[in-house]
Amino acid sequence: MTSSRLSAIIFDMDGILIDSEPTWQKAEFQTMRELGLEISFDDTLQTTGLRIDQVVSYWYQRFPWDNYDNSEVAGKIVDQVVSYINKDGIAMAGVISALDYCRDKKLKIGLATSSSHAIVDAVLNKLDIRHYFNSTQSAEHLAYGKPHPEVYLNCALELGISPTECIAVEDSFNGLVAARAANMQALAIPAKKQRLESKWIIAHRQLADLTELPDYLDGIIKL
């Protein structure tokens, strides 16, 4: 990245801005178990970063159940996550300081998530961070969610920035694939218990959390 201009930073949401991934796992696990699927809690990690309809489809393809209704099952999971965020949602470490840093450096700030607009609104309102973002993009109504790059490309387009001048910040492998496919630099901030997994090699850099972002960007920004 040292030879390229950096003009924008685009954040994933779940697991990057808000500590919601465990809630997604819990809601997904409980819902699938209620449908009769013999999956473990850790099995839900396989769908991290996917859009909710893709999550439901993922499990149905592997363990089909009667009376399949993707939207009904997806809605049940989303409702549980929104309820949690509204009640107990908290920001991940370093979120506000990272957003302040990016704004002070006059970087455009975007949000690109597979989550629905309802969850995006819940997060931005709960954390009171909507004013930081120049673009907020959800893959909810796109033809494809992550790992397809469309949501990232749409965000860069609305920001008016070339994807090659954007850094994406992700906590999931699917998200990193999307960012790389969009021709963006990609930072990985995986969950603590996943940090040593070899798959993060596809990221340009791995950070522990957003508190490390300002120091990292200080070394590469060319404004």
Count how many residues are written for the chain: 223
pLDDT at residue 222, rounded to an integer: 53
Judge whether 12 counts as a catalytic residue: yes
Q: Which CATH architecture has domain 21-88?
A: Orthogonal Bundle (1.10)
> What is the rounded CA–CA span in Å between residue 41 and residue 35?
15
Q: Outline which parts of the chain fall under CATH 3.40.50.1000.
A: 8-20+90-218
The catalytically annotated residue of 14, 19, 53, 171 is: 14
User: Is 2 a residue whose pLDDT tops 50?
Assistant: no
Q: How far is CA 119 from CA 55, 58, 66, 79, 122, in A?
A: 16, 21, 28, 9, 5
Whole-number CA gyration radius for the chain: 17
Q: Enumerate residues 6+ apart whose C-beta is below 8 A from 140.
A: 51, 114, 115, 116, 117
Question: How do 108-113 and 135-138 pair as beta strands?
Answer: parallel
The catalytically annotated residue of 12, 19, 53, 171 is: 12
Crossing angle of helices 117-127 and 70-88, rounded to 10°: 0
Confidence of residue 11 (pLDDT cuts 50, 70, 90): very high
pLDDT tens per residue across span 190-203: 998 899 999 999 99
pLDDT tens per residue across span 122-164: 999 999 999 999 999 999 999 999 999 999 999 999 999 999 9
> What is the rounded CA–CA span in Å between residue 134 and residue 112?
11
Q: What is the mean pLDDT of residues 104-126?
A: 95
Judge whether 14 counts as a catalytic residue: yes
Produce one character per residue of 7-38: b if its CB has 16 or more CB atoms within 10 Å, e if not: bbbbbbbbbbbbbbbebbbbbbbebbeebebe
The percentage of residues in the chain with a pLDDT greater than 90, rounded to a whole number, is 88
Contact between 163 and 152 (Cβ < 8 Å): yes
Confidence of residue 5 (pLDDT cuts 50, 70, 90): confident
User: Is 121 a residue whose pLDDT tops 70?
Assistant: yes
pLDDT at residue 1, rounded to an integer: 43
Q: What is the mean pLDDT of residues 111-124?
A: 95
Q: What is the mean pLDDT of residues 110-114?
A: 96
Q: Which fold has domain 8-20+90-218?
A: Rossmann fold (3.40.50)
Q: Outline which parts of the chain fall under CATH 1.10.150.240.
A: 21-88
In this structure, how many other beta carbons lie within 10 angstroms of the beta carbon of residue 4? Answer: 14
One DSSP character per residue, 21-51 reads HHHHHHHHHHHHHHTT----TGGGGGGTTS-
